[in-house]
Structure 1
């Protein structure tokens, strides 16, 4: 309040601002020079804007008021530059209220914060700075971790991955280059062999013809040297022998290089041969999804549990699931997994969001649909009961993902015995699903088997489609039976299926 009173006393009544070069009238009121000149311009006498008294005398400078105004402005400027001014009272803040966490001026402390815990600003600043620094320490540690530890670790992993991938790419292309080089050498060797063989044949043929003609010419020339009587006696025979009616020596097509044999469809034939050496895997594993204790082969088709812990920068390292690189939303897809003699494994399909979460229960409710083996028991994920053929453990399991009776399903088959290991498991119709593998034992890898490159991939499954569907229906009926008759029917069906397979193989 005192500050506002002082500023009001030092303010011009015309412009309401602090006096600038104040001028004093005879009536005792003061005005800024510019305000006074603007108010009384063109007049011989001046009228006071406050008391309306007319004055004929010229105003004089009010030196005391000018000094007071300049001092006030300097103090105000110093307060604005060196601290914060109280917005309510216009004075510099000098205190801090720890109760309300507010800055106070002298007037605020006397009136509004008299009963609060108030300390001088200079004393409380260091304490508050220490508190802020303590609160900021976790953020600084996290910043250092992101800036140095995490970024450096990630960059190191990226460098290792890039170098390893580049090395494997060069290795694979080296195999292709070696194959092409060997094929080139083999083709050129076959060409050289044919060239040598046919050159030798041409030389022998020409030599034989040359010797025959040379003997004929020498014989006739010798007979020409005989006496006239002898020559005339042999004239008819010599004339006939001297005649040569054979065509000029020339090379037929059989003696030339078989160019069409060496160049015809050369690249296609090499590609056909290359297919036998190149494997196509219907499912390629994603190494970035592998946990730290899993090891994936260089061809990305085999995974096993390892004692060696390796760093994994991927987002799925908390889970125990290895995903396929590509997910499927539509269409028919099929792949074979070799489980071998392993007694603990899990295979199937899952959603990507489910794989990112480290869930313990792999169930359809959690986004996992598959088949697992636990010792001597083989069962569907989420099911508490095993199937009646659980003692017939498969060595290779075929996973079939597609449509079945207008439903999207996944099914599992024993490729050796060629029968279904489970009923078709219904899946979400429009969700993208990824193949997954979980090896449960060390030194017992799970392998994705390669497919042969064929024009129609579905041909390899058509021969058993119809009786697999029949088997599924009969298996469902068997599972509904609670007495031994169901098992008898099931084994009878398996026997009939085996007989059918024998007939189909013939």
Structure 2
């Protein structure tokens, strides 16, 4: 039936469906181009079928044109209902897949323009690529299953938070035992703050897991929906589907900020209570951040000593440079702290930007946000000048670090803590938050931040230090003026004699 109708709607000259059909006086219809070509070359206008003369200009056969258009629409609709996609060039079923050009073709395409290409049946190509997508989706499915059963890294992170809470609470209570009769209210307030942070951090972890489960489920479901598309659509979208499947798995990076801020609860705890109790408690000018403890090391309970350890104290991975940060950064003002390096022959101390810890670093240098002093055996050098070394006259066991403004520029300076003699000074950026840092050597005995001897208050001590900051520089300036004055005086006297 369809074939008979198509014959009736075909031009008798080109045997194709009518294109812009024109009606002659004899009643026959032809495509416009099928009439224009012979009439343009021949002397007389005659009907190509009955050969009758047609002196008048042919008219458009609107009924026939509309019928042809309706027939084409119905034919396309039938193709869609059959689920078959045909070649737009040859009209044949798309049954092959060209692996060379990565496109679906028909048998006529293979014979004409893909004869030398690698070709396989369409169904085989679909099966192969579906297997690839499913294989790429497998890690995401496993991660989703792991998240659902709460056995991923997030659950380890929650376990670490619980351990930190327990250990921190134990240390808080231990410090408060000495002042029990005076400190009940202070103790309960701090424990409550710790519990509140625990709830907040745990809630954030739970929310993060829930969001990742929901996001991952949506991505997995989206990719699985693509697998249900028809073969041609699936292959046309194969690259994007495969990429989405590979990118469906969540990232494994964990934010150190998700951990309990132990320094907030333990840092200078006794000193802060001492301000209320008017009693003597140790004050550490800086406290180390235990959340930056590298593998193989541990930080003491008072957050002031770094030593070797066989346990990994943090579930958050750290890079190979073993950098330990102070818990607080400084934007301005004067700050001073000592670092007991002991007999260690390899270490690095100084200040750095807080953002310098976010990514693995190829080297520790000012270009990467680090300014400091490094010891290697019996020599030392600044981080910005590895080729210029200074041999120690006196090997220090304690190095004093000063960060502050000096002659209209911000510097970090290093001193022998025992004598106050300057080792060197480095210019650092102004108005940037800089964190103290230290890097232990492989064979570390211990690195320690000794407490201040506060008399009578920390502020008065720092005011005293401020008065004598960079005495060496002031002395050098005075000496320079004396030398200049002496030279000028000698020149004047010589001129007077002549």
Taking structure 2 as the reference length, what is the TM-score of the superposition? 0.55
Instruction: Report 1:340-355 matches (<5 A).
Output: 340-355=342-357
Larger-gyration structure (1/2): 1
Instruction: Report 1:2-401 matches (<5 A).
Output: 6=6, 9=9, 77=78, 79-88=80-89, 92-105=93-106, 108=109, 112-113=112-113, 115-117=115-117, 123-131=121-129, 133-134=131-132, 137=135, 140-141=138-139, 144=142, 148=146, 152-175=151-174, 177-183=176-182, 272=275, 274=277, 276=279, 278-306=281-309, 308-310=310-312, 312-314=314-316, 316-359=318-361, 361-381=363-383, 382-387=385-390, 390-401=392-403
Cα distance in 2 for partners of 1:3, 1:105 equals 22
Change (3 A) 1:366 1:475: farther
Cα distance in 2 for partners of 1:292, 1:415 equals 30
- Can you give the 5+ residue segments of structure 1 that lack an aligned partner in the other structure? 11-16, 18-26, 30-48, 53-64, 186-269, 477-506
**Once the 2 structures are TM-superposed, how far is the Cα of residue 375 of structure 1 from its aligned partner?**
2.7
**Once the 2 structures are TM-superposed, how far is the Cα of residue 458 of structure 1 from its aligned partner?**
1.9
Cα-to-partner distance string for 1:390-435 (whole Å, 9 max, x where unaligned): 231222222111111111110012222122122x211123443221
**Once the 2 structures are TM-superposed, how far is the Cα of residue 295 of structure 1 from its aligned partner?**
1.4
Cα distance in 1 for partners of 2:330, 2:155 equals 32
Cα-to-partner distance string for 1:39-92 (whole Å, 9 max, x where unaligned): xxxxxxxxxx9699xxxxxxxxxxxx9xxx99x969953653422243445554
**Once the 2 structures are TM-superposed, how far is the Cα of residue 437 of structure 1 from its aligned partner?**
0.7
Corresponding residue number in structure 2 for 1:414: 416
Corresponding residue number in structure 1 for 2:458: 454
Aligned residues: 338
CA RMSD, aligned part only?
Answer: 4.6
Contact 1:4 1:90 in 2 (8 A): no
Cα distance in 2 for partners of 1:184, 1:364 equals 45
Corresponding residue number in structure 1 for 2:23: none
Moved more, 374-383 or 75-84: 75-84
- Can you give the 5+ residue segments of structure 2 that lack an aligned partner in the other structure? 11-16, 18-26, 30-59, 185-272, 481-498
**Which of 473, 477, 484 is equivalent to 1:469?**
473
Contact 1:379 1:386 in 2 (8 A): yes
Change (3 A) 1:145 1:293: farther
Cα distance in 2 for partners of 1:28, 1:383 equals 96
**Once the 2 structures are TM-superposed, how far is the Cα of residue 347 of structure 1 from its aligned partner?**
0.7
Cα distance in 2 for partners of 1:102, 1:184 equals 77
Cα distance in 2 for partners of 1:4, 1:414 equals 106
Cα distance in 1 for partners of 2:144, 2:332 equals 40
